Structure 1
């Protein structure tokens, strides 16, 4: 534990020095006190979530904030005095020895019942496994490390939005750091923390390389492109086409854009028809698997999403999928503390749709960025809604799209007509 506490102090010291000295944290119109407040909120959110899943929901083996850490501890203990097994933890399955596979038999979450594209459980277990050699099994160090990654990713996401949106910097900062569910679900020892870290830097380096033409950042873009395939890959699949179209709109002339869009459109149609069966099977299997898990666990927030057998049925269910993700959290099937808080937040998210109506502002130059944000929101909502029949899981899975939704919506709001928002100009 002592070594874990020491590394916690070193991590906090490094973060303090970076915030004070690094250009990454020097943001015009954003005081350093705001940045410290943002990190404090993330840490409080991480501790709150950990407390809830420690003292309220007490099934540790099924709690995501513990299960990857616990499996990593099991592996580390199984690998004591066997240094060769350490390296096998990071090798592909076909390169692992029988001795290593035996150590895996003691874990609960290394293997999934069904794997969709990539097993991102292993990403979290491997990362925690590495951190154990620094933490001395002091859990708070892992929590602080994940919280720091999420914080850095949020700063990167803010910088991306700030470089591409016409909204005031302070308003963008509040959007990125002030949404309760985004804070709550993306600050602890969860996949969402790694996702936010990867997503933020992936977008920031894409903007620097392809819009600003700063090729020195190309290696970092490639690194985060690779990392995007290691956790919640469906988020980056939902992002790929909107981002590609947005980058084209920023780099090419109108005439060249039309040609590029035509080529991409034809390519997407061909790709869709060649992969449609794979897409259908993947979404269907995930839905069936999720239903089985929810029924076995007697999940109280199961919602209606029928199984589909063909592409036509899937397309017909898209409106229901969008409803389940964008509207249904307002009326959870079973009320609890978490569902009540989520419903109140969702009431706000739906309610502010009135702002562009009562205070509309024409923003022609911002249309490409608006379509980028809203396309990502809709595509990701479809993927989540078509594969997730549990409202509690939907509330958590949808947190990456919330800042994009708010940025898109607020783009067309005349802030001068909204007294509260006018102060942020």
Structure 2
């Protein structure tokens, strides 16, 4: 079994210092006097999370996805050592089993037939060339790449709400599940970083229309990375961005009857536009609109079955019959389980305890805000429409919670799947709370 070795701990300080040096060189360009106080702590928890995840998988789980990825990337490393051209060809072109040499190297790779997973393995192999294929160094590289994305996400929120720099730093940079599960040699690390870059570039390229070509190129690349690894994230993220644009357009109109009527009209327009965009993105995949319900049913049943026979942390939302009606009927329960469970009495292991404490904090924070606004629900609704970013964050978070909640049926899987929405959910609530308390217009 491929695990961290003594050599990992020998090479670890060298690559850690190298990453810190790169971070130090980047710091003046991407921080300001307020945000820089969070820069090194945020980087530190990402790097710590990368190593902690490897240690947990090695000494607690006795193996798992991260070491399976490392195992498969070893074959590409061997190909590179034997023939650099062949190794680079596998990294940049992917798997071609009709090629005898490729088959020879990858015939024992676990994930060679899964193009989405193998894409992450190819990224790890690329970092492996520069790190002499050591797990800890590859994990640090993944963590740093992800850090650039979450820092870009934080910078975006900070530009719009500088007065909320501290709570937004907590939401974007310091949520324990996010920096733990989103930092190691895993799919979630890359998709989280790419999501941050997509959010950053969309804001500057589309919302602010600054240096549009450069930012739209970054947006396209970030979306492409998400598409190659976890396309279902885009099912919720792209419609949320479209809604953001439509509501922003509505708010630029003069107050009056026409502006009031634009809300239902824009929402009616946003739905088919989002449908067309999502349909184009997912066409031909198992997440296409035509096959989404069957995929949901199959995934949920399989994860529940595996969790049950392995005495894992399973949960159930009830039976599926493979129709849209049955899936949508699970909406409240699925959103609830993704945001607010596992409960403390459902904890079965130390890893679940971390997720449960976070879920409890989410529950407390959410209902505290609702209680504060209990007599001002109409005002609360007005805030949602007056500040389109709040709506974007909450629509993405809630729709994504529904998607992962109805698919996972296992708390261990759910805690990893839901991390893309967590920074947006907490940020949205903090911004909404600011409106409720200050009643002022935000920047």
- Is the pair's TM-score, using the shorter chain for normalization, greater than 0.5? yes
Matches for 1:236-255 after TM superposition, within 5 Å: 236-251=234-249, 253-254=252-253
What SS does the corresponding residue of 1:302 show, helix, strand or coil?
coil
Secondary structure at 2:109 match in 1? coil
The answer on 1:29 being equivalent to 2:34 is: yes
Say if 1:166 and 1:411, in contact at 8 Å, map to a contact too: no
- Name the CA distance, whole Å, in 2 between partners of 1:268 and 1:222: 17
In the other structure, the counterpart of 2:363 is 350
Alpha carbons of structure 1 residues 175 and 268: separation in structure 2 relative to 1, 3 Å: closer
Contact (CA 8 Å) 2:96, 2:103: kept in 1 or not? no
Equivalent residues of 2:238, 2:274 under 8 A apart = no
Deviation at 1:391, TM superposition (A): 1.2
How far apart, CA to CA, are the structure 1 residues paired with 2:175 and 2:49? Answer: 11
Question: In 2 relative to 1, CA 84–357 (structure 1 residues): closer, same or farther, beyond 3 Å?
Answer: closer
Match of 2:420 in 1: 400
Q: How far is 1:138 from its partner?
A: 2.3
Q: In the alignment, is the contact (CA less than 8 A) between 1:153 and 1:201 conserved in 2? A: yes
1:264 aligns with 2:266: no
Answer yes or no: is the 8 Å Cα contact 1:165–1:366 preserved in 2.
Answer: no
Q: Confirm or deny: 8 A CA contact 2:95 2:102 kept in the other structure.
A: no
Equivalence for 2:185: 189
State which drifts further: 353-362 or 404-413.
Answer: 353-362
Alignment map for 1:125-164 (pairs within 5 Å): 125-164=121-160
Query: Which region of structure 1 is more displaced relative to structure 2, 365-374 or 150-159?
Result: 365-374
In the alignment, is the contact (CA less than 8 A) between 2:79 and 2:105 conserved in 1?
Answer: yes
**Distance change >3 Å, CA 95–CA 67, structure 1 → 2:** closer
Distance in 2 (CA, whole Å) between partners of 1:247 and 1:336 is 43
Equivalence for 2:3: none
Q: Tell me, in whole angstroms, the C-alpha distance in 1 between the residues paired with 2:422 and 2:430.
A: 12
Q: How does 1:273-352 map to 2 (within 5 A)?
A: 276-295=289-308, 298-305=310-317, 306-331=319-344, 333-352=346-365
Structure 2 vs 1, CA of residues 126 and 270 (structure 1 numbering), >3 Å: closer, same or farther? closer
CA distance in 1, matches of 2:41, 2:278: 45
C-alpha distance in 2 between matches for 1:389 and 1:262: 32
Measure, in 1, the Cα distance between the counterparts of 2:31 and 2:21.
15
Find 1:173's aligned residue among 160, 163, 169: 169
CA contact (8 A) 1:366 1:411 kept: no
Tell me if the contact between 1:160 and 1:207 (Cα under 8 Å) persists in the aligned partners.
yes
- Which SS does the other structure have where 2:111 is aligned? coil
Give the Cα separation in 1 of the matches to 2:162 and 2:23: 29
Aligned ranges for residues 105-144 of structure 1 at < 5 Å? 105-112=107-114, 119-144=115-140
Q: Does 1:374 align with 2:394?
A: yes
Change (3 A) 1:243 1:266: closer
**Partner of residue 58 from structure 2, selected from 54, 60, 64:** 54
Q: Is the 8 A contact 1:29 1:170 kept in 2?
A: no
Q: Give the Cα separation in 2 of the matches to 1:332 and 1:367.
A: 38
Q: Report the Cα distance in structure 1 between the residues aligned to 2:225 and 2:276, rounded to whole angstroms.
A: 27
User: Which range moved further: 258-267 or 200-209?
Assistant: 258-267
- Provide Cα deviations, 1:376-403, integer angstroms capped at 9, x if missing partner: 1121112112211111111221122112
- Go from structure 1 to structure 2 and tell me whether the alpha carbon gap of 1:151 and 1:276 turns closer, same or farther (over 3 Å shift): closer
The answer for unaligned runs of 5 or more in structure 2 is 1-6, 439-443
Distance 1:304 1:123, change over 3 A: same
Give the corresponding residue for 2:441: none
Residue aligned with 1:412, SS: helix
Moved more, 369-378 or 256-265: 256-265
Contact 1:301 1:391 in 2 (8 A): yes
* Structure 2 Cα separation of the partners of residues 268 and 249 of structure 1: 14
Match of 1:387 among 393, 407, 410: 407
Q: CA deviation at 1:227?
A: 1.9
**CA distance, structure 1, for counterparts of residue 435 and residue 206 of structure 2:** 30
CA distance in structure 2 between the aligned counterparts of 1:191 and 1:176, rounded to whole angstroms: 19
In the TM superposition, what is the alpha-carbon distance from 1:292 to its structure 2 partner?
Answer: 4.8
- Are positions 1:413 and 2:419 aligned together? no
1:237 match: secondary structure: helix
- Stretch of structure 1 that moved more, 342-351 or 226-235: 226-235
Q: Deviations over 1:247-299 (max 9, x none)?
A: 23224644696665444334556889996432222222322443454356x14
Q: Find the counterpart in structure 2 of residue 115 from structure 1.
A: none
